[in-house]
Amino acid sequence: MKSETDRKGPAVKAAIFIVFLIAAIVLVRFTPLKEYLTADKLGSLLKAAGPWTPAAYIGLYAAGVCLFLPGTLLTAVGAAVFGPYFGFIYVWLGAMLGASLSFFIGRYLGRDFAASLIGDRLKKYDEAIGRNGFATVLYLRLVYFPFTPMNFGMGLTRVRFRDYFSGTALGIIVGTFIFTFFIGTVKEVWSDGHWAGLLSWKVLFSLGLFIFSFFIPAIVKRIKAERKAETV
C-alpha cells in the first residue's frame, strides 16, 4: 500500500509541471522579453557570439522549444543566419535537443500523475501508443501536429524515449529542410542584391518545395487511410 508521501509525490510534480508551462507562456508573451523575440534582434544577438554562434543558436532553439517560442521564428532565424544547408543542420539539431528536453520534463514531472488518472478505457490507448511509439510519433510529425505541445504530451504517455526520438528525428527532416532551404535561399538572393536571382532554378525549386510542404499532411493521411482500408 502506498504511503501518503508516495501519493503526494506525483501530484507535487504535476503542480510544478503546470507552473512551469504557465510561466513559460507568460515569460515569452507578457514580459519585456517579447520585444527581443524578432528575427532581426535574435540574428544580431547570435552573430555577436562569434565562433560560438552555431552552439548558441542550437541552445537558443532548444530553450525556445521548451518555452513555447514559435518554431517558424526560430527556424527562419537559423536559415537567415547560416544559409539553407548549415541552417538545416543547426535547426534540426536544435529542434531535436529541445524536443528531447521537453519530453523528459513531461516524463519526469507529469507521467506518474497522468498514469494515475488514466482509467481502463484510456489505459488501452496508452498501452497502444507504447507498443507503436515510433509509428505514432512519426505520423504525428509528418502531419505537422503542433511541435512543442506534442513534445511535452508524449512525455506523459507510455511511449519509449528511443521510439519518440527516432520518430521525431525522421519525421521533422522533410519539413525542416524545405523551410530552411526556402528561407535560406531567398535570404542569400536578397543579401546579394541580384533580384534576377529570384527567378533562378534554385529559388523556384525551393518555392516549389515550400508549396509542396503544405500538402504533406494530406498526402500522409491519405496513404494511412488507404492502408487501413486494405487491412479491413
Residues contacting 176, CB < 8 A, separation 6+: 75, 88, 91, 92, 95
At 200 the pLDDT is: 67
At 19 the pLDDT is: 95
Q: Give residue 77's pLDDT band: very low, low, confident or very high (50, 70, 90).
A: very high
pLDDT exceeds 60 at position 3 = no
**What type of residue sits at position 175?**
G
Question: What's the farthest any 2 CA atoms get from each other in the chain?
Answer: 74
pLDDT tens digit sequence for 4-52:
555 677 889 999 999 999 999 898 888 888 888 888 899 888 989 999 9
3-state helix, strand, coil in the chain (%, to 5): 85, 0, 15
pLDDT exceeds 80 at position 206 = no
What cell numbers appear for 26 in the block?
Answer: 507568460
In the 8-state DSSP scheme, what is residue 35? G
Please give the share of the chain, as a percent, with pLDDT higher than 90. Answer: 45
Radius of gyration, CA atoms only, the chain: 20
Q: Give residue 127's pLDDT band: very low, low, confident or very high (50, 70, 90).
A: confident
What cell numbers appear for 97 in the block?
Answer: 535537443
Cα 213 from Cα 111, distance rounded (Å): 33
Task: List the one residue out of 157, 83, 79, 87 whose CA is nearest residue 117.
Answer: 157
- Report whether 133 contacts 159 (CB < 8 A): yes
Where b means 16+ CB within 10 Å and e means fewer, 110-124 reads bbbbbeeebeeeeee
Q: Give residue 197's pLDDT band: very low, low, confident or very high (50, 70, 90).
A: low
Averaged pLDDT of the chain: 85
pTM for the full predicted model = 0.85
Residue bearing cell 524515449: 161
- Report whether 92 contacts 173 (CB < 8 A): yes
Structural domain boundaries in the chain: 4-181
